[in-house]
Amino acid sequence: MHETTTLLVEVGALLLLLGLLGRLSRRFGVSPIPLYLLAGLAFGHGGLLPLAASEEFFAVGAEIGVILLLVMLGLEYSANELVGNLRSAAPAGLIDAVLNALPGFGFALLLGWGWVAAVVLGGITWISSSGVIAKVLGDLGRVGNRETPVILSVLVIEDLAMALYLPLVTALLAGVGLVKGGIALGIAVLTVVVVLVVAIRFGHLISAALSAKDPEALLLGVLGLTLLVAGIAARLQVSAAVGAFLVGIALSGPVAHHATELLSPLRDLFAAVFFVFFGLVTDPRDMPPVLLPAIALAVVTMGTKLVTGYLAARRAGIAEPGRWRAGFALMPRGEFSIVIAGLAVAAGTVEPKLAALATAYVLITVITGPMLARLPDMRWFKQRVRRRIAARQARPVPATD
């Protein structure tokens, strides 16, 4: 009984604090994400007042938060839009992998950590945080913008790539043979294909099975289906986020519309829990020794993400303001980077400093990324972009014979 009482007190106090921080952030017109992370740091391991009883609650809530963020994004788009965007964004996905994985790979080799650690750090710097970016797009009112499908396409390609990368890196860390590694990779590929086919070909049947006229039944049905598919995907070594996103894609029509309205408050609650938990499990005392390398790596790879988003949006025919918004939006890293670092730490076969470096790196990008995402909306930035466009249009066209 005492443990339950302590749990209620800790959870209630922290949620109340998050509500006050959210209100404060909106009063000043900034994203609440950095404040949620700092709150987690203050009350986590090595913080001012560690909360021990509620850590497991926030761990489960964090998983649900990422799942809800992704299913809500999926509800905004149809299966046909997804396929079209994936086809058009495939070259951008390749550019994304090259520009953002190579810095991490090379950085680990430069530090003398070995090629396995290089593969791990390459994955950490490659993958943007779908959860953080989904929250930022919602906070800034950009879900309906023209560049948002481009951003989502890059994120989905990354998440699908993670379905192949995670089994591979797990096999490398465990030192298993080629056959076992190949089997794990094959299962992951098959799972992704099956979920995609079901979402695209039979999505209308799934929507028909859920009634939009009964809010209670619809909420329970959509939430249950999302958690079920996400759990099965995770059990098969595929991203739970990919499974949740594809459930959202599979739903359409009135069901998708009403599900969005019903799930929005739950998404906001558990998304805040996700960001707090990220801070709770981070010990601030581990940061100072790796802070400078993490800052250097963050500066380089946030720049490469900016280039990735800009090029992807340009290729899709988005105007220049939208290109900059896409580039800045892709900067934060988060849940996948921490998962990859966690696999490396659990295996115990790579450099111990990798975990602290990854945590500091993610914190830097996840705090500064949402702030930088607001730059394209600022007046001085818009004026600079307009002058750049005007200067380009004023250039004389070369004469041709």
List pLDDT tens digits, range 158-188: 877 776 777 777 777 766 655 666 676 677 6
Does 401 have pLDDT greater than 60?
no
Is 397 part of a structural domain of the chain? no
Instruction: Kindly list the distances between the CA atom of residue 229 and the CA atoms of 75, 242, 280, 339, 396, in Å, as whole numbers in the listed order.
Output: 15, 9, 27, 19, 56
5-9, 176-180, 298-302: which is most confident: 298-302
- Structural contact between residues 123 and 102, judged by C-beta atoms closer than 8 angstroms: no
- Structural contact between residues 225 and 52, judged by C-beta atoms closer than 8 angstroms: no
pLDDT band at residue 400 under the 50/70/90 scheme: low
Helix (H) or strand (E) holding 43, with range, is helix 33-43
Does 103 have pLDDT greater than 90?
yes
In angstroms, the CA 265 to CA 378 distance is 29
Does 380 have pLDDT greater than 60?
yes
pLDDT band at residue 311 under the 50/70/90 scheme: very high
In angstroms, the CA 278 to CA 364 distance is 13
Q: What is the pLDDT of residue 390?
A: 82
SS (H, E, C) 205-222: HHHHHCCCCCHHHHHHHH
Q: What is the pLDDT of residue 5?
A: 84
Is 385 part of a structural domain of the chain? no
Which CATH number is 329's domain given? 1.20.1530.20
In angstroms, the CA 53 to CA 344 distance is 27
Is 322 part of a structural domain of the chain? yes
Is 384 part of a structural domain of the chain? no
Is 274 part of a structural domain of the chain? yes
DSSP conformation letters of 255-276: HHHHHHHHHHHHHHHHHHHHHH
Does 375 have pLDDT greater than 80?
yes
Is 165 part of a structural domain of the chain? yes
Does 46 have pLDDT greater than 80?
no
pLDDT band at residue 398 under the 50/70/90 scheme: low
Does 358 have pLDDT greater than 70?
yes
3-state helix, strand, coil in the chain (%, to 5): 80, 0, 20
Q: Using alpha carbons only, how large is the chain's radius of gyration in Å?
A: 21
Structural domain that includes position 101: 2-379
294-321 average pLDDT score: 93
In angstroms, the CA 321 to CA 27 distance is 26
Is 395 part of a structural domain of the chain? no
The number of residues making up the chain comes to 401
Count of the separate structural domains present in the chain: 1
35-39, 51-55, 311-315, 370-374: segment of lowest average pLDDT:
51-55
16-25, 54-63, 68-77, 362-371: segment of lowest average pLDDT:
68-77
7-11 average pLDDT score: 85
Does 2 have pLDDT greater than 70?
no
Residue 398: half-sphere exposure toward Cβ, Cα within 13 Å: 2
13-38 average pLDDT score: 81
Is 393 part of a structural domain of the chain? no
55-69, 183-197, 283-297: segment of lowest average pLDDT:
183-197
Task: Give residue-wise pLDDT tens across range 255-270.
Answer: 888 888 888 888 888 8
Residue reference for tokens 């960001």 = 275
